[in-house]
């Protein structure tokens, strides 16, 4: 069956765009998920495609889906593979559809402050091009320079400055999709639309299980605004969480708000002597607003026993905010392992969740570091970094597996959200139904309606 599929793909896309070379099949059998990386280091590629097809135009997608439907072969869409949860891994083999090869282009609408880009657009290149014209996307994930615009939509991504600009769900104005049936649709609002349900949300975070995102219109913002930074020492984690909550309730919108527990503060400040939690603050806007927000934040922090350390901690972090080398270098070492797990909870539960996750995970890693970095009036996200060394890569795989199940079980027991922005992927698919509860029924019904042959990215989101 797969031979005739490959033959049909070659006829549709051309020989150069279709590969069964083992290097290509191995490369697409992993993303940036530490567990997948570590498994690959043991020589294991449990999730391997039969063929990789590289699009040169999104118009070709309908033809690929028709072939896959005819032959009952799964299709797993792949952007730049920066997923850290196994989202683009082809669990049932079949076709990996690489869309990062579609030539990218974008168009700026300065009057309405949007940019429309092909889904294959490299995020960092888009932000750099906008910066040259005095604009920013406001969306700045740590993976800005290793992810696509379509990937952001498909994964419900959020960026480091979300407390001012919001997540991709807030920044997305319009997008187009190609369904598994070959049909296309545009979903959007100009600038808001009360005509039935807000269908823009259907594909946001669908991880390639419901359709292929082909073009994306995002908001843009003026880039060159006065900015102020400060770094604060806080007495306790509870004090810092209260500052984050109080400023959210007052409606402040600092573009940078990152609060580190003492263990991560040592890394964030690059200073092993730090013995207290640390808060990074950045305010931005017309000078009066940047100054006023900075002043209110200062009052809130000092009211909780905090003290200013000067801007350097926060500005130094700004300079290395795309750096992932601590995790990557450790993973590259025999037996070394590292993981990042981001979750979210209400203000009423986040402090207990922090304590419980630390206690449960400490026996599994040498270091358990946590920070809180995306803030809402109801609660915040918590990002846990685990670093450790085991006796072998096989033992590291076991440790990472235990880390995931332990973390997810603790979150479920605390009623927390299992992912704040890295998504379900393979890491969380076994927990998707429990996490979504009765809403999972809606997801299953959407899947049946939009992908009746069930070809798109099987084995994800509990589908």
Residue 275: CB minimum distance to ligand FAD, A? 28
260 binds ligand FAD (CB under 6 A): no
Closest CB to ligand FAD among 180 and 290? 180
How many other CB atoms are found less than 10 A from the CB of residue 320? 10
Residue 174: CB minimum distance to ligand FAD, A? 15
Closest CB to ligand FAD among 159 and 240? 159
Residue 180: CB minimum distance to ligand FAD, A? 11
Q: Which of residues 137-176 bind ligand FAD (CB under 6 A)?
A: 141-143, 147-148, 150-152, 154-155, 157-159
Q: Which of 25, 41, 68, 119 binds ligand FAD (CB under 6 A)?
A: 119
Residue 48: CB minimum distance to ligand FAD, A? 16
Closest CB to ligand FAD among 300 and 375? 375
Is there a contact between 126 and 96 (Cβ–Cβ < 8 Å)?
A: no
Closest CB to ligand FAD among 67 and 274? 67
Q: Which of residues 83-102 bind ligand FAD (CB under 6 A)?
A: 83-84, 87-88, 99
Closest CB to ligand FAD among 304 and 460? 460
30 binds ligand FAD (CB under 6 A): no
Stretch of 39-47, 135-143, 184-192, 309-317 contacting ligand FAD, by CB under 6 A = 135-143
Residue 213: CB minimum distance to ligand FAD, A? 4
Cα dihedral: 65, 153, 38, 390 (round 10): -150
Place of tokens 């920066």: 82
Is there a contact between 312 and 385 (Cβ–Cβ < 8 Å)?
A: no
Residue 321: CB minimum distance to ligand FAD, A? 9
Closest CB to ligand FAD among 260 and 276? 260
Q: Which of residues 290-319 bind ligand FAD (CB under 6 A)?
A: none
Closest CB to ligand FAD among 143 and 231? 143
Closest CB to ligand FAD among 150 and 379? 150
Residue 10: CB minimum distance to ligand FAD, A? 23
Closest CB to ligand FAD among 208 and 379? 208
For ligand FAD (CB under 6 A), the number of binding residues is 36
Closest CB to ligand FAD among 154 and 241? 154
Site string for ligand FAD, 44-83 (x = CB under 6 A): --------------------------------xxxxxxxx
324 binds ligand FAD (CB under 6 A): yes
* 3-class secondary structure per residue, the chain: CHHHHHHHHHHHHCHHHEECCHHHHHHCCCCCCHHHHHHHHCCCCCCCCCEEEECCCHHHHHHHHHHHHHHCCCEEEECCCCCCCCCCCCCCCCEEEECCCCCCCEEEECCCCEEEEECCCEHHHHHHHHHHCCEECCCCCCCHHHCEHHHHHHHCCCCCCHHHHCCHHHHEEEEEEECCCCCEEEEECCCCCCCCCCHHHCCCCCCCCCCEEEEEEEECEECCCCEEEEEEECCCHHHHHHHHHHHHHCCCCCCEEEEECHHHHHHHCCCCCCCCCEEEEEEECCHHHHHHHHHHHHHHHHHCCCEEEECHHHHHHHHCCCCCHHHHHHHHCCCEEEEEEEEEEEHHHHHHHHHHHHHHHHHHCCEEEEEECCECCCEEEEEEEEEEECCCHHHHHHHHHHHHHHHHHHHHHHCCECCCCCCCHHHHHHHHHHHHCCHHHHHHHHHHHHCCCCCECCCCCCC
Site string for ligand FAD, 178-217 (x = CB under 6 A): -----------------------------xx---xx----
Closest CB to ligand FAD among 345 and 421? 421
422 binds ligand FAD (CB under 6 A): yes
Is there a contact between 455 and 69 (Cβ–Cβ < 8 Å)?
A: yes
Place of tokens 């009423």: 348
Q: Which of 126, 86, 89 is nearest to 106 (CA)?
A: 126
461 binds ligand FAD (CB under 6 A): no
Binding site for ligand FAD (CB under 6 A): 31-32, 76-84, 87-88, 99, 119, 141-143, 147-148, 150-152, 154-155, 157-159, 207-208, 212-213, 324, 421-422, 457
């Amino acid at each position: 069956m797969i031979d005739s599929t490959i033959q049909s793909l070659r006829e549709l896309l051309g020989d150069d765009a279709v590969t069964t070379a083992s290097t290509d099949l191995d490369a697409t059998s992993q993303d940036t998920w530490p567990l997948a990386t570590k498994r690959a280091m043991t020589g294991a590629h449990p999730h391997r495609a039969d063929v990789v097809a590289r699009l040169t135009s999104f118009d070709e997608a309908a033809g690929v889906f028709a072939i896959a439907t005819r032959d009952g072969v799964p299709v797993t869409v792949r952007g730049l593979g920066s997923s850290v949860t196994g989202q683009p891994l082809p669990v049932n083999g079949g076709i990996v559809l690489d869309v990062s090869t579609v030539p990218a282009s974008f168009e700026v609408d300065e009057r309405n402050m949007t940019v429309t880009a092909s889904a294959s657009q490299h995020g960092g290149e888009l932000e750099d091009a906008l910066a040259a014209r005095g604009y920013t996307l406001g969306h700045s994930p740590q993976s800005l320079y290793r992810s696509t615009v379509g990937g952001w939509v498909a994964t419900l991504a959020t960026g480091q400055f979300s407390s001012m600009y919001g997540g991709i769900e807030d920044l997305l104005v319009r997008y187009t999709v190609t369904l598994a049936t070959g049909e296309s649709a545009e979903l959007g609002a100009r600038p808001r639309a009360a005509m039935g349900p807000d269908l823009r949300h259907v594909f946001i975070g669908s991880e390639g299980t419901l359709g292929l995102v082909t073009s994306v219109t995002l908001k843009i913002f003026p880039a060159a605004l006065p900015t102020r930074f400060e770094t604060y020492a806080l007495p306790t984690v509870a004090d810092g969480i209260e500052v984050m909550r109080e400023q959210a309730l007052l409606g402040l919108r600092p573009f940078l708000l990152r609060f580190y527990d003492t263990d991560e503060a040592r890394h964030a400040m690059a200073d092993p002597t730090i013995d207290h939690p640390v808060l990074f603050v950045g305010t931005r806007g017309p000078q009066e607003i940047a100054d006023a927000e900075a002043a209110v934040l200062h009052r809130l922090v000092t009211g909780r026993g905090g003290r200013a350390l000067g801007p350097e901690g926060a500005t130094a972090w700004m300079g290395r905010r795309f750096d992932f080398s601590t995790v990557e270098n450790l993973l590259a070492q025999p037996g070394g392992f590292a993981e990042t797990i981001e979750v979210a909870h209400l203000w009423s539960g986040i402090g207990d969740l922090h304590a419980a996750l630390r206690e449960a995970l400490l026996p599994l890693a040498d270091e358990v570091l946590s920070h809180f970095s995306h803030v809402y009036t109801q609660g915040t996200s918590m990002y846990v970094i685990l670093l450790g060394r085991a006796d072998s890569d096989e033992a590291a795989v076991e440790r990472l597996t235990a880390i995931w199940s332990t973390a997810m079980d603790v979150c479920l027991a605390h009623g927390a959200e299992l992912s704040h922005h890295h998504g379900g992927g393979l890491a969380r698919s076994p927990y998707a139904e429990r996490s979504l509860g009765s809403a999972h029924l809606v997801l299953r019904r959407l899947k049946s309606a939009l992908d009746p042959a069930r070809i798109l990215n099987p084995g994800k989101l509990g589908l």
